[in-house]
């Protein structure tokens, strides 16, 4: 029996089978590689995400720290700005007072809210006895700084310095006063209106005990001061009860009140009469108007008052115009005797 021949398709089938196998292997390898690569990439992505999250958390922490620091810095900046603003305000006030032409305008004595107001007129007094000498006292109010003293001394005239009590704004006024042979205290009293209130100002409701304590301190600061005139004080001096307490204490302390007459309704005369004390009162403000010539007119008026009544008290301030006018008025001042306050 003869054998049957093999089919011619067998090599083709082998080739096909091999090819399919190779293809399947390739696909399988690709799939395996894909899945392996996918998981690797996925792992890498997860790792990167974790790293990113970690960085984000770190950035948030840094941002929180920065914000905290920024808030602190802003807080410090705000504090510094407030401090700078406060110091600037104090400096401006100090500079304002340091400028002689601003610092000592007399309106703050009798009309702080009206720069054009005229001072209360002087009261009428008995005429000068025939043959008696005419005496004039010129008080320089608001003396607070060394440059005030220097300016007053530059006139070469026997002017009476009235020193404001020491404060944070002018701490050396008492020390400056002690260098003088004779001086007064410019006693802060309550005004109807204030532009600027001096520390420890006496008010209409200040008790006798409070007044006594204040004057005791001032006597210690100014041991050679026997005369005090009021700084502002329009409300205080027009109050009869307040003036009664003040003059009663001053009499007990051996002090003499000089009325700056910052208001026409002052009760100074009545209080002085009640306690048997002399009543000394301002006749002329020298520098209620700006300008050297205006001050010179007031100096002439003060001289005329001294001639008319025998004595007169003029009040000025260590302003540039006032100092210059006094220097230029020496001839007319020779018509009277320029004296200290205790000489009238």
Residue 5 located in a structural domain: no
Last residue of a domain, one of 59, 82, 98: 98
CATH number for the domain spanning 143: value is 3.20.20.370
Residue 6 lies in a domain: no
- Please calculate the CA angle 117-119-123 and round it to the nearest 5 degrees: 150
> 269 and 152: one domain?
yes
Q: Which residues pair with 188 in a beta bridge?
A: 231
Last residue of a domain, one of 40, 71, 98: 98
Residues 72 and 171 grouped into a single domain = no
pLDDT of residue 41: 43
Assigned domain for 3 exists:
no
Low-confidence ranges of the chain (pLDDT < 70): 1-77, 79-80, 84, 87-105
- pLDDT attached to residue 117: 86
pLDDT confidence of residue 48: 53
- pLDDT at residue 194, as a whole number: 82
7 — phi, psi (to 5°)? -70, 145
Shared domain check, 144 and 246: yes
Range of the domain at 235: 106-343
Indicate whether 9 belongs to any domain: no
Q: What is the pLDDT of residues 224-263, one digit of tens each?
A: 999 999 999 999 999 999 999 999 999 999 999 999 999 9
Domain assignment present for residue 62? The answer is yes
Say which DSSP state 310 is in. S
Residue 166 and residue 216 in one domain: yes
**Same structural domain for residues 73 and 165?**
no
Q: Are residues 328 and 285 in the same domain?
A: yes
Note whether 280 and 163 are same-domain residues: yes
Q: What's the confidence (pLDDT) of residue 24?
A: 57
* 51 and 145 inside one domain: no
CA distance 154 to 140: 13
Q: Report the chain's mean pLDDT, rounded to a whole number.
A: 83
CB-CB contact of 184 with 228 (8 Å): yes
**Considering the entire predicted model, what is its pTM?**
0.70
Of 43, 71, 98, which closes a domain?
98
Between helix 292-309 and helix 320-327 the angle, nearest 10°, is 60
- Distances 300 to 151, 281, 332 between C-alpha atoms, Å: 21, 18, 7
Domain assignment present for 200: yes
Establish if 257 belongs to a structural domain.
yes
Distance of CA 336 to the CA centre of its chain: 41
**Cβ neighbours of 191 (radius 10 Å):** 26
Beta bridge partners of 338: 136
- In the prediction, which pLDDT does 299 show? 98
Q: Is residue 2 part of a domain?
A: no
Q: CB of 139 within 8 A of CB of 162? A: yes
How many domains does the chain fold into?
Answer: 2
| 3-state class (DSSP) for residue 261 | coil
Contact 180, 173 (CB under 8 A): no
Using only C-alpha atoms, the chain has a radius of gyration, in whole angstroms, of: 46
Q: What is the pLDDT of residues 25-40, one digit of tens each?
A: 555 555 444 444 444 4
User: Which tokens sit at 117?
Assistant: 């107001």
> Are 64 and 178 found together in one domain?
no
How far apart, in whole angstroms, are the C-alpha atoms of residue 227 and residue 317? 17
- Give how far the C-alpha of residue 168 lies from the chain's centroid of Cα atoms, to the nearest Å: 9
Both 71 and 212 in one domain: the answer is: no
Q: Are residues 312 and 260 in the same domain?
A: yes
From the list 194, 190, 197, the residue with the least C-alpha distance to 230 is: 190
Q: Please indicate, yes or no, whether residues 268 and 303 belong to a single structural domain of this protein.
A: yes
Whole-number pLDDT of residue 36:
46
Residue 132 contacts by C-beta under 8 Å, 6 or more apart in sequence?
A: 310
């Amino acid at each position: 029996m003869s054998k049957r021949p093999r089919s011619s398709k067998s090599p083709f089938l082998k080739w096909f089978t091999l090819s399919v196998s190779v293809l399947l292997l390739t696909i399988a390898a690709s799939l395996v590689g894909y899945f392996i690569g996918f998981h690797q990439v996925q792992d890498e992505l997860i790792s990167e995400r974790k790293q990113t999250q970690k960085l984000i958390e770190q950035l948030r922490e840094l941002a929180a720290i920065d914000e905290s620091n920024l808030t602190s810095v802003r807080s410090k900046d705000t504090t510094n700005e407030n401090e700078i603003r406060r110091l600037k305000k104090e400096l401006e006030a100090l500079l304002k007072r340091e400028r002689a032409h601003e610092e000592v305008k007399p309106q703050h004595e009798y009309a702080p809210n009206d720069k054009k107001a005229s001072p209360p007129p002087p009261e009428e007094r008995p005429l000068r006895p025939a043959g008696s000498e005419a005496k004039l006292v010129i008080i320089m109010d608001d003396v607070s700084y060394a440059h005030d003293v220097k300016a007053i001394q530059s006139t070469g005239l026997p002017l009476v310095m009235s020193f404001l009590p020491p404060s944070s704004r002018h701490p050396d006024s008492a020390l400056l006063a002690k260098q003088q042979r004779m001086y007064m205290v410019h006693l802060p009293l309550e005004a109807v209106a204030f532009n600027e209130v001096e520390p420890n100002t006496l008010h209409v409701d200040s008790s006798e005990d409070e007044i006594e304590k204040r004057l005791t301190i001032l006597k210690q600061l100014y041991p050679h001061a026997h005369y005090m005139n009021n700084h502002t004080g329009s409300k205080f001096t027009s109050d009869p009860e307040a003036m009664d307490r003040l003059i009663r204490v001053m009499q007990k302390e051996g002090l003499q009140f000089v009325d700056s007459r910052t208001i026409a309704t002052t009760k100074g005369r009545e209080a002085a009469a009640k306690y048997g004390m002399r009543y000394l009162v301002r006749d002329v403000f020298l520098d209620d108007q700006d300008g050297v010539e205006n001050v010179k007119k007031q100096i002439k008026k003060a001289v005329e008052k001294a001639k008319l009544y025998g004595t007169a008290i003029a009040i000025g301030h260590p302003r540039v115009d006032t100092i210059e006018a006094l220097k230029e008025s020496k001839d007319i001042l020779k018509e009277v005797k320029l004296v200290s306050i205790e000489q009238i």
